[in-house]
């Protein structure tokens, strides 16, 4: 398994258009704690980083499913990022 780090997770989150607020709510952690992890200001365990990665993957998948559902219904809309 690839070793995770906070900055890589932040890049993945930002690229997907998901706000730190949404991700922290899903994880049930404070936004400030997530920010500390993403900036490398605290040393998070690999288990915690994996938990963040899984939650992020779930949000990205949900975003994709919603976009696909809209397209299948003939809606030509662009979903706003999860903010």
The pLDDT assigned to 46 comes to 94
Instruction: Tell me what the pLDDT averaged over the chain comes to.
Output: 89
Provide the greatest CA pair distance for the chain.
Answer: 46
Q: What is the CATH number of domain 6-72?
A: 1.10.260.40
Q: List helix spans (H) across 1-83.
A: 6-16, 20-27, 31-39, 46-72
CA contacts within 13 A on the Cβ side of 74: 0
Tell me if 53 sits within 8 A of 9, measured CB to CB. Answer: yes
% residues pLDDT > 90 (the chain): 69
Place of tokens 């998070």: 44
What ranges do the domains of the chain cover?
6-72
Q: State the Cα–Cα distance between residues 67 and 50, nearest whole angstrom.
A: 26
Dump pLDDT digits (tens) for 18-45.
999 999 999 999 999 999 999 999 999 9
Dump pLDDT digits (tens) for 42-55.
999 999 999 999 99
């Amino acid at each position: 398994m690839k070793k995770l780090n906070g900055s890589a997770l932040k890049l993945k989150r930002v690229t997907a258009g998901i706000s730190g607020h949404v991700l922290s709510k899903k994880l049930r952690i404070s936004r400030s704690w997530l920010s500390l992890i993403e900036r490398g200001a605290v040393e998070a365990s690999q288990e915690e980083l994996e938990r963040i990665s899984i939650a992020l993957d779930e949000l990205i998948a949900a975003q994709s499913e919603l976009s696909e559902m809209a397209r299948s219904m003939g809606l030509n809309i662009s979903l706003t990022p999860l903010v």
